Amino acid sequence: MDYDRVKDLKGVLRNDFYWGYATAATQVEGGWNADGKGESIWDRFAHTPGKVKDASTPDDAVLSYYKYKEDVALLKSYGVTGYRFSLSWSRIIPLGGKDDPVNEAGIRYYSNLIDELLANKITPFVTLFHWDTPQALEDRYGGMLNKEKYTPDFVRYASVLFERFGDRVKHWITYNEPGVYTLAGYAAGVHAPARSSNRALNEEGDSSTEPFIVGHTELVSHAYAVKLYREKFQKEQKGIIGITLHGNYSEPWDENDPLDVEAAERAREFEIAWYADPVHKTGDYPASMRAQLGDRLPRFTAEESKLVLGSSDFYGMNSYTTFYIRHKDTPPELNDHSGNVDKLDTNSKGVSRGPESDTYWLRTAPWGFRKLLNWIWKRYGVPIYITENGTTAKGETEPSEAVLNDQFRIDFFNGYLEAIGRAVKEDGVDIRSYFAWTFTDNWEWAAGYTDRFGVTFIDFESEGKKRYPKKSAYVVKDLFQHMVKA
Ligand code: GBH
């Protein structure tokens, strides 16, 4: 590790700070139809020709459905104190609905995983939903487009989890990145359930309305699940529950142009405050969004607003990078979802936002990460749980010495973990966890197996998906052992 730069950060993180790795069911489990698991919208998507970049499927993924003991042992060797994973709804309730049967084999798998983690002193952080809606609910009533039908189904799913796992799970996350689910799935149409206005890509959908309808359903159903937890389970189980939001940082392209400064704030509002303001600040959408979107943005009923405001015990934060934001002089297009701005790689002085990874949108920019931590802390003032952050690196195609000695990823973590330490020590931000994305290389959604975010290399061609630790795993361990108070 780059010791000099973090030397003064010894012990700056709370002694109960949780750190480790995050994963998502679809991306790692495999066993896509094993032991009674039902189909999810991502199974359907991946089995539709032309949808995934390398034509791959998550049928086997990393086989963690079968290799969870080996995986927990590896996590243990990485020194982690927490592990964040998501549950597959259709593994637990194959058809998804409130009156549909529970699959005991699915319950057993997660129960075993939780026990194995606890036996190794690793705290489970459990996400209820990481994008994999049961296909049956999509077919039955259009999934999240139908708030009235969907919400009771989601709440019943949540109640099964609290009942069966709540004795051992004390950290719950309802939704992972509701905004990415809506924008990629219903605006761009490049993720499941593959809807948009673009008829060259998708048969159905309306990018100008559906993302906002679906986003509203996510917020309201999240709030009802939290209400259930608080009223029926929290007192006895003593856990915490919240929602995780995505959000990269938006920096003005020209910091001396008030229009760019305003545009950058508007971009943060469209990307982050869309979900965070209703939950953590006002119980309503930001004024900038209402001004641009008018009636295309749903309205909260008085009851919904009351329920949504304060419905997260913490700010769940996923963030990877920073963009430069320039205002546009033309009026917003119908299918704009970003606040009528341009997102750029260099600023007005020609400065790059950071070194390129192997992923087109992702560049290393720890300077923006620290600004974002401050922006969130100032605007919302609730403890921040960082639930995802990480990078790909160019040229990771085989487990060679150079690839396993992943200097690019090491530089990324050195920068971002230093930013966290300084945000806590020098800016007074309250940060309580860090989960790097991700534990092993995995199935990166529509990018298939081409984008490797893991601190563990996976040989996807090999029998049993052989695991090879990368050096970054040990650097992250050293950094946290230095920064977390003993
Ligand atoms: C996370 O999403 C996911 O939770 C996780 O499952 C995934 O594997 C991981 O990141 C890595 O991708 O319009 O060009 O600016 C992050 C999703 C992807 C959302 C990039 C914002 C911006 C694309 N982010 N996207 S661009």
Please report which confidence band the pLDDT of residue 2 belongs to, taking 50, 70 and 90 as the band edges: low
Q: For position 3, what pLDDT does the model report? A: 76
Our answer on whether the CB atom of 345 is closer than 6 Å to any ligand 1 atom is no
**pLDDT band, residue 38 (cuts 50/70/90):** very high
Taking the centre of ligand 1 as the mean of its atom positions, its distance from the CA of residue 194, in whole angstroms, is 16
Q: Is the pLDDT of residue 1 over 80?
A: no
Cα 452 to middle of ligand 1, angstroms: 13
For ligand 1, whether the C-beta of 344 sits within 6 Å is no
C-beta of 246 in contact with ligand 1 (< 6 A): yes
Among 161, 65, 82, which residue's Cα sits nearest to residue 120? 82
Instruction: Please work out whether the CB of residue 388 comes within 6 Å of at least one atom of ligand 1.
Output: yes
Beta bridge mates, 240? 171
Reported as a pLDDT band with limits 50, 70 and 90, residue 4 is: confident
Q: Among 246, 353, 412, 453, which is best to mutate for testing ligand 1, by the most ligand atoms less than 8 A from CB?
A: 246
Task: Sheet containing 341-344: give its strands across.
Answer: 249-252, 322-327, 341-344
Q: Tell me what the mean pLDDT of segment 454-472 comes to.
A: 98
- What pLDDT, in 10s, does the model give residues 423-451? 999 999 999 999 999 999 999 999 999 99
pLDDT tens for each residue of 65-94: 999 999 999 999 999 999 999 999 999 999
Question: How far, in Å, are 44, 78, 386, 472 from residue 75 at the CA level?
Answer: 31, 5, 18, 13
Ligand 1 pocket test: pick from 272, 318, 409, 440 the residue with the most ligand atoms within 8 Å of its Cβ.
Answer: 318
Rounded distance from Cα 79 to ligand 1 centre (Å):
26
pLDDT digit string (tens) for 187-214?
999 999 999 999 999 999 999 999 999 9
Among residues of the chain, what percentage have pLDDT more than 90? 99
The pLDDT tens digits of the residues spanning 235-290 come to 999 999 999 999 999 999 999 999 999 999 999 999 999 999 999 999 999 999 99
Atom number, ligand 1, closest to the C-alpha of residue 323: 15
Residues annotated as part of the active site:
177, 388
Whether 319 and 369 have beta carbons less than 8 Å apart is answered as yes
Domain annotation for the chain: domains and CATH numbers: 3-250+267-287+305-321+359-483 (3.20.20.80)
Ligand 1 atom nearest 445 alpha carbon: 8
Ligand 1 center–CA 297 separation, angstroms: 23
Q: Is any atom of ligand 1 closer than 6 Å to the C-beta of 187? A: no
Q: What is the pLDDT of residues 315-339, one digit of tens each?
A: 999 999 999 999 999 999 999 999 9
